[in-house]
Amino acid sequence: MKRAVYPGSFDPFTNGHLDIVRRALQVVDHLTIAVLRNTSKKNLLSPDERVELISEVYAGEPRVEVTTFQGLLADFCRKRDTRIVIRGLRAVSDFDYEHAIFLMNNKLFHDLETIFLMSNSEHSFISSSIVKEVSSLGGNVDDQVPPAVARKLKEIHGRS
Ligand code: PNS
């Protein structure tokens, strides 16, 4: 069975992430969505809230597991004996950052492969930070995030 890890901050999980998961499942049998715990970024949602929301999105999908991880991604993958990492690429501007992560992970765990999936045009403009900003300023992001996330954002920003 081919298993892979899809790591990220997912603060919040967007339709862009959803599309990457859908496509990753065409390549691997089982996907672990791994939410990073130890981030220096200022987050809107706690790691547990993110896991809860993503789990709601994939309720009833046995091929997807949602969990958190701390420390190095390479160590997390090694411990779980998973050798495939999935990452989405929205545009050329993502490439340098993703390449640096790939090189570092590859140094830390030589057998770890990264599969990059390109976002399609419908999703390439969606980013968690923009979704957060627009939502906090009263903009509608319902078509950019799954319903569970849209509901949570409205709850946080005091809208019904
Ligand atoms: O959604 P993001 O914030 O772009 O995800 C980045 C992530 C979580 C994949 C990356 O920061 C990561 O793997 N962090 C864990 C710490 C680590 O392994 N660092 C070395 C490679 S950057």
For each of the chain's 160 residues, which pLDDT tens digit applies?
A: 999 999 999 999 999 999 999 999 999 999 999 999 976 778 999 999 999 999 999 999 999 999 999 999 999 999 999 999 999 999 888 999 999 999 999 999 999 999 999 988 888 899 999 999 999 999 999 999 999 999 999 999 876 6
Q: Give the pLDDT confidence score for residue 151 in this predicted structure.
A: 97
Task: Tell me if 128 CB under 6 Å of ligand 1.
Answer: no
Q: Is the dihedral of CA 51, 52, 58, 61 positive or negative?
A: positive
The DSSP 8-state label assigned to residue 120 in this structure reads P
Q: Give the pLDDT confidence score for residue 41 in this predicted structure.
A: 73
Q: Give the pLDDT confidence score for residue 38 in this predicted structure.
A: 77
Choose the catalytic residue: 2, 22, 41, 79: 41
Choose the catalytic residue: 50, 119, 123, 128: 128
Q: Is 127 a catalytic residue?
A: no
CA distance 82 to 114: 11
The reply to whether 53 falls in a domain is: yes
Q: Give the pLDDT confidence score for residue 158 in this predicted structure.
A: 79
Q: Give the pLDDT confidence score for residue 124 in this predicted structure.
A: 86
Q: Is 17 a catalytic residue?
A: yes
The reply to whether 147 falls in a domain is: no
CA 159–ligand 1 middle distance (angstroms):
32
Q: Is 3 a catalytic residue?
A: no
Q: Give the pLDDT confidence score for residue 140 in this predicted structure.
A: 95
Task: Say if residues 159 and 40 touch (Cβ distance below 8 Å).
Answer: no
The reply to whether 110 falls in a domain is: yes
The reply to whether 158 falls in a domain is: no
Question: What total of structural domains would you count in the chain?
Answer: 1
Q: Give the pLDDT confidence score for residue 70 in this predicted structure.
A: 96
The reply to whether 155 falls in a domain is: no
Give the bridge partners for 6, in sequence order. Answer: 33
* Residue from 58, 62, 77, 75 nearest 29 by CA: 62
Mutating to test ligand 1, I would choose from 33, 50, 73, 131 the residue with most ligand atoms within 8 A of its C-beta, which is 73
* Residue from 91, 101, 160 nearest 124 by CA: 91
CA 39–ligand 1 middle distance (angstroms):
9
The reply to whether 112 falls in a domain is: yes
Q: Give the pLDDT confidence score for residue 42 in this predicted structure.
A: 81
Q: Is 41 a catalytic residue?
A: yes
CA 61–ligand 1 middle distance (angstroms):
25
Enclosing domain of residue 53: 3-124
Question: Residue 74 belongs to a domain with what CATH number?
Answer: 3.40.50.620
The reply to whether 138 falls in a domain is: no
The reply to whether 148 falls in a domain is: no
